[in-house]
Amino acid sequence: MTNIDFSPLLRSMIGVDRLTSALETAARSEPSGYPPYNIETADENRYRLTLAVAGFTEAELELEVKDSQLTITGQRRESEGEVRYLHRGIAQRGFTRQFQLADHMVVVGAKLDHGLLHIDLVREVPEAMKPRRIAIRTDSGQAAIEHEEAPAEVWQAA
């Protein structure tokens, strides 16, 4: 396993400790590829994750979000009666799939439709985190931009 040095990438970034951890985890993990999935985007804040879970019922699937990690688990229940297969090509094994969610990503719904599990996600950025204009004061103390924030006197040099 090759170690990846992220220091050149992080020289111009501040407060991205979780990003570094997520990149290192992704580099170490070897996903099984089962079940296959798609990630779609409707716009910059709405996404849909679709997993192919043919043969699973709603009762056999579980979704959990904990510490910004979405975990999807499928556990097949034992079928009653013994089935004799001539050919068994449809996977019936259980699975666990994990996805690291970005900051402020929220799962808003999930639907099982024709063997596809659709999970809808939305980025809900709090008002305090959205871009805002900052007042630039002139030498006379008047705000050059109408929208004011903190008084400039707080940072005057001694």
- Count of the separate structural domains present in the chain: 2
Q: Is there a domain that residue 153 lies in?
A: no
Residue 158 is predicted with a pLDDT of: 44
Q: Indicate the range of 40-54, 83-97, 105-119 predicted with least confidence.
A: 83-97
Q: Is there a domain that residue 44 lies in?
A: yes
Q: pLDDT at residue 108 above 80?
A: yes
DSSP 141: S
Q: Is there a domain that residue 138 lies in?
A: no
Residues 76 and 120 both lie in one domain:
yes
Instruction: Find the domain containing 19 and state its range.
Output: 1-30
123-133 pLDDT, tens digit each: 988 888 778 88
The pLDDT-based confidence of 143 (bands split at 50, 70, 90) is low
Q: Indicate the range of 25-29, 55-59, 87-91, 152-156 predicted with least confidence.
A: 152-156
Q: Is there a domain that residue 104 lies in?
A: yes
The CATH number assigned to the domain holding 119 equals 2.60.40.790
Is the separation of the CB atoms in 119 and 70 below 8 Å? Answer: yes
Q: Is there a domain that residue 37 lies in?
A: yes
What is the identity of the amino acid at 63? L
43-52 pLDDT, tens digit each: 989 999 999 9
Higher pLDDT pick, 155 / 18: 18
Q: Is there a domain that residue 20 lies in?
A: yes
CA atoms of 71 and 64, how far apart (whole Å): 5
Is the separation of the CB atoms in 61 and 53 below 8 Å? Answer: yes
Residues 21 and 47 both lie in one domain:
no
Residues 22 and 87 both lie in one domain:
no
